[in-house]
């Protein structure tokens, strides 16, 4: 969906004209966006290390034991890490120009402003899922099906894995902060001036 209230078009050549400038994102929103992006890095690096055959502390009978890598499963671990980071990078669109206006290289739609609902609703739904997964993951982290299993990492390996995944708990809240700030900043009643709050 595109916001037709903040841009005009030249009907003779169908090129978008200047878009009404929006208020600058707050420092809190920018920091939250970067926290969301960085939150996926430690677990991604941990998975890539496992994909390369570096011991992660899993038992011999576990699929993630180093004897099973490198293998075709390595592509899954690396792909999952890249996918998570790409999804997290979308958060930057909530504090960058490319999250406000459709890139000009996209046919017909290029240069038109993005409706705030079209950006905010998916972001908040994603944040709700991430927060829910984070709560469930925290409550079940040491359960017999997870880190409490016999072949799961123990000792130092347990803490390395735990510390690698702990930052993911920040992803949902950080995305929520950024999405709410984006929605408020693009409200028709928001003054078009930098917001440093």
Alpha-carbon distance values, 83 to 48, 88, 102, 121, 140 (Å): 12, 9, 22, 21, 24
- Mean pLDDT score, 173-194: 83
Contact 92, 81 (CB under 8 A): no
pTM: 0.82
149-158 confidence digits (pLDDT tens): 999 999 999 9
CB-facing half-sphere around the CA of 115: CA atoms within 13 A = 10
What is the C-alpha separation between 120 and 105, in angstroms, rounded?
23
Q: Which pLDDT does position 34 carry in this prediction?
A: 98
39-61 confidence digits (pLDDT tens): 999 999 999 999 999 999 999 99
- Mean pLDDT score, 162-187: 96
Domains of the chain, by residue range, sit at 23-185
Q: Which pLDDT does position 105 carry in this prediction?
A: 82
Q: Which pLDDT does position 108 carry in this prediction?
A: 83
């Amino acid at each position: 969906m595109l916001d037709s209230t903040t841009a005009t078009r030249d009907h003779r050549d169908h090129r978008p004209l200047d878009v009404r400038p929006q208020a600058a994102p707050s420092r809190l929103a920018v920091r939250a966006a970067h926290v969301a992006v960085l939150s996926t890095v430690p677990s991604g690096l941990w998975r890539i290390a496992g994909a390369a055959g570096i011991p992660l502390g899993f038992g011999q009978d576990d699929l993630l034991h180093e004897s099973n890598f490198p293998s075709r499963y390595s592509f899954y671990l690396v792909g999952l890490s890249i996918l998570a980071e790409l999804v997290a990078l979308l958060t930057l669109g909530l504090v960058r120009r490319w999250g406000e206006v459709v890139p000009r290289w996209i046919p017909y739609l290029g240069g038109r402003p993005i409706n705030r609902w079209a950006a905010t609703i998916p972001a908040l739904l994603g944040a709700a899922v991430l927060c829910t997964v984070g709560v469930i993951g925290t409550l079940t982290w040491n359960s017999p099906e997870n880190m409490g299993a016999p072949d799961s990492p123990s000792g130092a390996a347990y803490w390395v894995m735990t510390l690698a995944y702990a930052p993911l708990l920040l992803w949902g809240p950080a995305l929520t902060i950024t999405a709410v700030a984006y929605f408020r900043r693009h409200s028709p009643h928001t003054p078009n001036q930098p917001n440093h709050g």
